[in-house]
Structure 1
Amino acid sequence: MLAIWSDVGPEQETDYLHWLTREHAAERVGVPGFEAARVLRAELPGTCRYLILYELADPSVLAGADYLARLNAPTPWSSRVMPILRNFARGGGRVVAEAGAGQGGSLLALRLDRAPAGEAGPLQAIVAEDRICAARLIAVDAARTEVSTREKALRGGDGSFPGLLLIEATDADALRRALARHAAAVRDLGGEPAEATAYATAFALRGGAGTAG
């Protein structure tokens, strides 16, 4: 998977969403190895924060020729949007542990301060909670994620993180209850529960669904 965070100003949000839903997501899932895109909005009053999750066939596509060609030839619309993105952070790699199945209406995303080693036990306990659908741990491949490109230069620098915990649920309250019950396990994974944010899906697209090739 590849996870990308960014904030936009309220006055820029509509253009940003049009860019994502009318050009950018289709462009990305048109890259061989990019299987699906999902755009989520943080449940943070007064803040326009978005998380984009891409499903990948393999982490190697992050440094593959097809993807790098796109990153080094941004469209005019991308060239206009990239410089306005704030608090940008990006990390992609392998799903090293997962439990449950499918996607929920709400997702909790928590960056970890170390790469997970594949600790499946905590995830199994989390998905046993009411209304929790799935949980995943991603270990970021820094070498492939941090390749310099024209798009990165337009943003002026990206934040990074070594690992990521994703929890899917039917609703945000279920996420908060599960996080509270398993706070110690989350800290053991390298996450700080107080920093966790719930996200709601705004848009999703799978490869082959009218995407640009």
Structure 2
Amino acid sequence: MALLGNAAVAMWWDILPAQREEFQEWHSREHFPERMGIDGFLRGSRWTHVDGGNGFFVMYELASYETLTSAGYLQSLNNPTPWSSKMMPHHLNMVRSQCQLLGSFGAGLGKAMLTIRLSPAGGQAGPLQAWLENRLAHLAESRGIVGAHLLQTRTPEAAMTQEQKIRGGDAVADWIVLLSSYETEVLELAQADELSPQRLTAAGALAGMTHGVYALSFSLGKHELKSLGPFRPA
């Protein structure tokens, strides 16, 4: 999966089973189209945790870092629709990171995604970035892998938005590794071997990183807006 643009919003949260059906309809029919209508938003994708639990991973790919503080995006964040206001409180254990793209390798959109949230140990940011970029470039050319990417959170200086207030505030990641494949098993092997906690720690990452494998649920690009049906709010 070649990331579009030079920045992204990467998010993880849980949705309980009772809200899952309405959440996916709202997110697909209203929220994604709303976001893709903002200048600088290029593609959104939603992924469900392969273990069948409550977890989601969502990513917006952005033309530039400046999109994060654009008037259009802030207008949307501070003026949620009634349906958005209804659904936002159900985003549990929210982690939301506004990121710059440090490295991106590969092309295409796979059906599965490995996400790793990690931080460099003291004085290890440079060596860890170099190691990760080298390893991800190699992985992107490996069997089954179609994309490998490195993001770094860089939260803009901005007041808490209305959407954040509804959710009660969000946690943030630090560095994010993304690995995309057309085979879930390939990602599980990478998680256990080349991107295992042991190897990442040896390369300069702090212990306590978070791994997760997700399956693609829905994707929408800006160019696809006209083909999507009308909103169907509850």
TM-score higher than 0.5:
yes
Alignment coverage as a number of residue pairs: 210
**What secondary structure is seen at the aligned counterpart in 1 of 2:225?**
coil
Structure 2 vs 1, CA of residues 125 and 97 (structure 1 numbering), >3 Å: closer, same or farther? same
Pairing 1:91–2:122 present = no
The offset of 1:185, in angstroms, is 4.1
Q: How does 1:13-28 map to 2 (within 5 A)?
A: 13-28=20-35
CA contact (8 A) 1:122 1:185 kept: no
The offset of 1:4, in angstroms, is 1.3
Give 1:175's aligned residue. Answer: 187
Q: Distance in 2 between matches of 1:176 and 1:191?
A: 21
Q: Distance in 1 between matches of 2:163 and 2:152?
A: 23
**What secondary structure is seen at the aligned counterpart in 1 of 2:223?**
coil
Please give the TM-score of this superposition, normalised by the length of structure 1. 0.90
**What secondary structure is seen at the aligned counterpart in 2 of 1:196?**
strand
- Of 218, 225, 228, which residue of structure 2 is paired with 1:203? 218
Q: Distance in 2 between matches of 1:92 and 1:114?
A: 18
Give 2:19's aligned residue. Answer: 12
Could you report, residue by residue, the CA deviation over 1:68-119 in whole angstroms, capped at 9, with x for unpaired residues?
Answer: 0000000000000011110111002211112222221110011122496543
Structure 2 vs 1, CA of residues 191 and 78 (structure 1 numbering), >3 Å: closer, same or farther? farther
Give 1:123's aligned residue. Answer: 136
Superposition CA RMSD, Å: 2.2
The offset of 1:169, in angstroms, is 1.1
Could you report, residue by residue, the CA deviation over 1:170-207 in whole angstroms, capped at 9, with x for unpaired residues?
Answer: 11110011222212443336376973111011001000
Q: Bigger CA drift: 116-125 or 14-23?
A: 116-125
CA contact (8 A) 2:36 2:225 kept: no
Q: Distance in 2 between matches of 1:69 and 1:190?
A: 37
Structure 2 vs 1, CA of residues 60 and 114 (structure 1 numbering), >3 Å: closer, same or farther? farther
Q: How does 1:1-213 map to 2 (within 5 A)?
A: 1-45=8-52, 47-114=53-120, 118-119=129-130, 120-143=133-156, 147-182=159-194, 183=196, 184-187=198-201, 188=203, 190=205, 195-210=210-225
The offset of 1:147, in angstroms, is 4.1
Q: Distance in 2 between matches of 1:87 and 1:6?
A: 5
Identity of aligned pairs, percent? Answer: 29
Q: Distance in 1 between matches of 2:209 and 2:164?
A: 29
CA contact (8 A) 1:42 1:198 kept: yes
**What secondary structure is seen at the aligned counterpart in 2 of 1:168?**
strand
Uncovered stretches (5+) of structure 2, i.e. residues with no partner: 1-7
**What secondary structure is seen at the aligned counterpart in 2 of 1:68?**
helix
